[in-house]
Structure 1
Amino acid sequence: MKKIIILITPCTILVGFGSSFAGEIKGQVFESGSNQAVVGAAVLNKRTAVSKHTDKNGQFTIEGEIGDILLISMIGYKAKEVKLKKEKLLKISLELDEMLLEEVVVAANASPVHLKMSSSNIMVRGMVRTRRQVSQESYAKISENTFQSPLKEPLSTFAADVDAASYSNVRRMLKAGSIPNPDAVRVEEMINYFQYDLKSPTNGDPVAISSEYTRAPWNTEHRLLRIALKAKDIPKEKLPASNFVFLIDVSGSMSDENKLPLVKSSLKMLVDQLRPNDRVAIVTYAGSAGVKLQSTSGDEKMKIKDAIDELGAGGSTAGAAGIIKAYQIAREHFIKNGNNRIIMATDGDFNVGASSDEDMETLIEKQRESGINISMLGYGMGNYKDSKMEILADKGRGNYAYIDNISEARKAIINEFGGTLFTVAKDVKIQVEFNPAYVQAYRLVGYENRLLAAEDFNNDAKVGGDMGVGHAVTALYEIVPTGTRSAVIGSIDPLKYQKTPTPEAGQLSGEIATIKFRYKDANTEKSKLKQALVNDQVKEFEKVSTDLRFASAVAEFGMLLRNSAFKQQASFPSLIARARAARGEDKEGYRMEFVRLAEDAEALWKAQRGE
């Protein structure tokens, strides 16, 4: 009995009927041999970049014209490109790909069930349900933040997070026709994937803080508080000299086209950004670690690129040995007051030596005080170990991006070169004190794996998050105003042995919260404190910044993908309309891409639920 993955792809196209066309194309996708409808298959028009999903009957409608290429894909089937001719009605037969059959997690009645099944037995209680996720991918469990009472928990403390890996990883899953694993959806990373128009710091400060306060779009009885941090911009020519070590996974699992070949293209883009005063060494690892290129000046670009081009994949994966070797090389060429950084490119699937998530945390904590940061670039699918990548970045004073295509590589490495690779403020922590006279309950949206104890805020030995050149961080709080009846926050009976605290414990000062944040300059170990006040002045949602309206749509999207217990009146149509209206200038088209992604997710969601 074989295990199953399902990779969507059409195999046989049967002719329909009609004459020449330019407009709406209809079709049906079914399984070869059984003639059963394939539900949730992705149909992409490669020219327009618009994709649709098949409904409960395997049917779809998409705009197209003669000469367009449709890509039909579904996990577990062979993919194939289809060139549109004169047919206006398509019947598409998909063949199962026996080579790609793996274990599938099928969510039946909201309970994940692991099944080892044949290609003809992919049913749970008569229906394939919501989520299929390749089991070899690992994600750290997320226990979603709940509403807290400021009478019991007046302080909310967390480390800043500029990672954006979750968004591009979720995008990859949705484009493959799969509802993401909820634990792969980190809402704060999805929000912070996008650039926002924030005021840069003044008076020599490396970070500036701002806030906005409005109604929550998914429950207008509640409020939404946005806290935003903006790191200073530094012209490229004034950035400090860099000592880079490229740490590249060349194990057998990296042989796929979306792994080592994409790694090579990505890193060669970075090489083009190097200056003569920068240096690069290359460390590789498979069954063991080795030095492919000794530290080399940034003006020897062809020598560095030739070394990258020579890399090939094969063997097991001694990731820990590679990390140790990379830190050793970085220390040997350490630049005082410079930018010392390891750039690790891998799928995270370590299998030789120390390899567990706990091993990675112990290993990276020993290395992080060396003054050498680490940037994680994740690649691939199927065996992807997101949990390890996240630990290495979070615990190693680094950042983390998932690279699923060359456009994402360009975004992370060229467009956001300074923010990704040059730290201007480290150990950034945020602490918010809520006033119970105005706030009945609050909930931090996301940041579950970045929470800190209240006392960690003032402890400089506790690691926070790092912010690079020009980086922006957005955090959202959903707030229930005092006196508002809200079923979502729950209630408890009055206490018997002590007085229940009352909102009068706060002061009617007009302040709903005080925001404090700490940071260290890049080359110091003593933190500095800044703070800002949030007044009880609720702006109408239509009058807040375009950025907040867009960020709220991304947050709502994340809650729906996670099927959050706190999604309330969240809906795809609402967030899609809001995001479309809040695209702003959108020079690179990332916001419009989000709108299309949300539309695809809505169609896939409906199709897999038979709506």
Structure 2
Amino acid sequence: MQRWLPWLFLLLFVQALHAQSRRITGVVLDGNTITSLHGVNIRDKTDQKTFTTDSGGRFEISGSSSSVYLEFQLPGYDITHKTILPHQDFSTIFLYKKNPSQQDQKGHMAHDIMTTGAAYPPNLLMPVEIKTHDNETYEEMTGNPMESASASPLSSFTLNANDAAYCNVRRFIMAKQLPPKEAVRIEEMINYFSYPDKIDTGAGSPMTLHTALTTCPWHPGDWLLRIAARAEDLPSDTVLPNNIVLLIDISGSMARSNKLPLLKKAFSVLANQLDPSDKISVVVYAGDVSVALPPTSGNEKSKILDVIHNLTAGGTTAGGAGIEKAFEFAKKNFTPHGNNRIIIATDGDFNVGKTSDEDMRKLVTKYHNWGIYLTCIGVGMGNYKDSKLETLAQWGQGNFVYIDDEEEALRLFNSKNYRKILISMAANARMKAIFNPELVTSYRLIGYENNTGGKRDSHAEY
């Protein structure tokens, strides 16, 4: 299984680099909130000189050409020691509060980039603006601004590996239509493809980072930085038992050839990938909710396929009730140390009971501690509610894909792809990149507009 997560930054470099003199600069941050710390006392243990961080947590000291040993103190925080090696001119220091309940939140910093995870705040309310395009809904999106590396050296965003936007945009292009700008999520366009980055098996980490720097083709004078994270491959003989609940929309709007018929093809492929240790259930909803297939072993393929093939569409759409039923069903049949996942397949056009995007956010956040993940599969056009499925995937700790044609339906769960759709390599993970203002004057994260400290980034407490 391969999982690729590339990020792109547009960088403006300092034109003249400081050289020769041993001037050490850096920033001191709270290790949990990743906010700058003012008034930190810094002591050079070599010559006993003392310094203090400014209002932005920055410091600047003059040091010898050899290693410099620094001690950082701030009331309420653990004392931290840091060795600045001869080749280092900039350093990021993390201080952690003395409260023992917060100590388990410490992360590990490597090459000034960190991944970590935490639970979503269940009551966090993030208002979202919705744009309508020919009865389809998308979240409003504004490009990330250029940030000063001196004032804001940290860029942070969630490690989502969705690729729904690529197939959705392809659907517009194949129909000779221009997609709405809100449909073009750049990170999902990039994440759709695989890349030849290799895993460093000797690094002792489940994730390998790759970077590449090149001139920016559309903005001469600036640079384009690609940071790619690849999770370690699972051995081909690894057996992780699956508890899968298919939650399938069979309302009247799903009868079209680009909706339920495509889902039947996709789920037929999935059924043929299941092992005897797996179990799968099918919950369907239209005007009400019913169980079409109770938990069934993966080796009963003919029984599973019969249920899938016999699904028909008709009626209204009680999507909220279907989600609640699916989570209850998944919890009742929970597999410890396995992969417990709900796969909801719909055009998102809910019209009975709880229907709004905000209703969906509140609904799925109730289940964050259940150890059950949510995969959303979008289909259709005309009444497709992209914003609703993006909300469900984001707040349901899951992923989001879109099926636009038969080829994609057959590809989604084939032997090469199905494990990367079903299995999460890291829960609630995020990336942090810190830029050295001695080298970079400003930067802009390309893509991830809905996953960076704004309305969707529920991890602002890091």
Normalising to structure 1: TM-score of the pair?
A: 0.52
Counterparts in 2 of 1:253 and 1:201: CA distance versus 1, 3 Å? farther
Counterparts in 2 of 1:421 and 1:458: CA distance versus 1, 3 Å? same
Correspondence for 1:427: 428
Q: Distance in 2 between matches of 1:270 and 1:282?
A: 13
Residues 128-179 of structure 1 show CA distances to partners (whole Å, capped at 9, x for unaligned) of xxxxx95210000001111111222221110012100001000000110110
Correspondence for 2:368: 368
Kept in 1: contact 2:243–2:280 (CA 8 A): yes
Does 1:438 find its partner at 2:439?
Answer: yes
Q: Distance in 2 between matches of 1:455 and 1:426?
A: 14
Q: Distance in 2 between matches of 1:367 and 1:291?
A: 20
Q: Which range is displaced more, 156-165 or 133-142?
A: 133-142
- Hey, which of these two has a bigger chunk of helix by percent? 1
Question: Shift in Å at residue 452 of structure 1?
Answer: 2.6
Partner of 1:449: helix, strand, or coil? coil
Kept in 2: contact 1:159–1:452 (CA 8 A): no
Kept in 1: contact 2:162–2:191 (CA 8 A): yes
Does 1:406 find its partner at 2:427?
Answer: no
Q: Distance in 1 between matches of 2:458 and 2:407?
A: 42
Q: Distance in 2 between matches of 1:193 and 1:341?
A: 21
Residues 50-87 of structure 1 show CA distances to partners (whole Å, capped at 9, x for unaligned) of xxxxxxxxxxxxxxxxxxxxxxxxxxxxxxxxxxxxxx
Correspondence for 2:391: 391
Q: Distance in 1 between matches of 2:458 and 2:370?
A: 25
Q: Distance in 1 between matches of 2:224 and 2:345?
A: 37
Q: Which amino acid aligns with 2:359?
A: D
Residues 535-591 of structure 1 show CA distances to partners (whole Å, capped at 9, x for unaligned) of xxxxxxxxxxxxxxxxxxxxxxxxxxxxxxxxxxxxxxxxxxxxxxxxxxxxxxxxx
Correspondence for 2:298: 298
Q: Distance in 1 between matches of 2:282 and 2:181?
A: 35
Kept in 2: contact 1:207–1:425 (CA 8 A): no
Counterparts in 2 of 1:455 and 1:258: CA distance versus 1, 3 Å? closer
Correspondence for 1:316: 316
Q: Distance in 2 between matches of 1:142 and 1:339?
A: 33
Correspondence for 2:195: 196
Partner of 1:432: helix, strand, or coil? strand
Correspondence for 2:141: 142
Residues 358-386 of structure 1 show CA distances to partners (whole Å, capped at 9, x for unaligned) of 00111111112210001111111000000
Partner of 1:380: helix, strand, or coil? coil
Correspondence for 1:273: 273
Q: Which amino acid aligns with 1:305?
A: L
Partner of 1:448: helix, strand, or coil? coil
Q: Distance in 1 between matches of 2:324 and 2:399?
A: 18
Does 1:343 find its partner at 2:340?
Answer: no
Correspondence for 1:178: 177
Q: Distance in 2 between matches of 1:206 and 1:417?
A: 20
Question: Shift in Å at residue 425 of structure 1?
Answer: 1.4
Q: Distance in 2 between matches of 1:336 and 1:159?
A: 26
Question: Shift in Å at residue 220 of structure 1?
Answer: 2.9
Q: Distance in 2 between matches of 1:177 and 1:209?
A: 38
Question: Shift in Å at residue 271 of structure 1?
Answer: 0.2
Residues 213-253 of structure 1 show CA distances to partners (whole Å, capped at 9, x for unaligned) of 22112123101111110011113431310000000000000
Q: Distance in 2 between matches of 1:142 and 1:418?
A: 30
Q: Which amino acid aligns with 2:434?
A: E
Kept in 1: contact 2:266–2:412 (CA 8 A): no
Residues 292-324 of structure 1 show CA distances to partners (whole Å, capped at 9, x for unaligned) of 110000000000011111211011000010001
Q: How does 1:53-92 map to 2 (within 5 A)?
A: none
Residues 398-428 of structure 1 show CA distances to partners (whole Å, capped at 9, x for unaligned) of 1111001121123321131111111121222
Give me the CA root mean square deviation: 1.8
Q: Distance in 2 between matches of 1:214 and 1:236?
A: 35
Correspondence for 1:448: 449
Q: Distance in 2 between matches of 1:155 and 1:134?
A: 35
Kept in 1: contact 2:133–2:180 (CA 8 A): no
Partner of 2:198: helix, strand, or coil? coil
Kept in 2: contact 1:161–1:189 (CA 8 A): no
Kept in 1: contact 2:265–2:410 (CA 8 A): no
Kept in 2: contact 1:138–1:387 (CA 8 A): yes
Residues 4-59 of structure 1 show CA distances to partners (whole Å, capped at 9, x for unaligned) of xxxxxxxxxxxxxxxxxxxxxxxxxxxxxxxxxxxxxxxxxxxxxxxxxxxxxxxx
How many aligned residue pairs are there?
328
Question: Shift in Å at residue 457 of structure 1?
Answer: 6.6
Q: Which amino acid aligns with 1:439?
A: V
Residues 316-354 of structure 1 show CA distances to partners (whole Å, capped at 9, x for unaligned) of 000010001011111111111100001111001101111
Q: Distance in 2 between matches of 1:309 and 1:149?
A: 56
Q: Distance in 1 between matches of 2:402 and 2:342?
A: 16
Q: Distance in 1 between matches of 2:354 and 2:310?
A: 27
Counterparts in 2 of 1:351 and 1:208: CA distance versus 1, 3 Å? same
Question: Shift in Å at residue 395 of structure 1?
Answer: 1.0
Question: Shift in Å at residue 195 of structure 1?
Answer: 0.5
Partner of 2:136: helix, strand, or coil? coil
Q: Distance in 1 between matches of 2:139 and 2:460?
A: 24
Q: Which of structures 1 and 2 has the larger relative contact order (alpha carbons within 8 angstroms, sep 6+)? A: 2
Correspondence for 1:48: none
Kept in 2: contact 1:278–1:298 (CA 8 A): yes
Partner of 1:358: helix, strand, or coil? helix
Structure 2: 5+ residue stretches without partners: 1-130
Q: How does 1:84-103 map to 2 (within 5 A)?
A: none
Partner of 2:148: helix, strand, or coil? coil
Q: Which amino acid aligns with 1:289?
A: V
Correspondence for 2:153: 154
Q: Distance in 2 between matches of 1:192 and 1:420?
A: 13
Q: How does 1:557-596 map to 2 (within 5 A)?
A: none
Residues 257-289 of structure 1 show CA distances to partners (whole Å, capped at 9, x for unaligned) of 110111111100000100000000000000111
Kept in 1: contact 2:344–2:375 (CA 8 A): yes
Residues 421-450 of structure 1 show CA distances to partners (whole Å, capped at 9, x for unaligned) of 111212221111112222121000000001
Q: Distance in 2 between matches of 1:329 and 1:243?
A: 10
Q: Distance in 2 between matches of 1:365 and 1:143?
A: 25
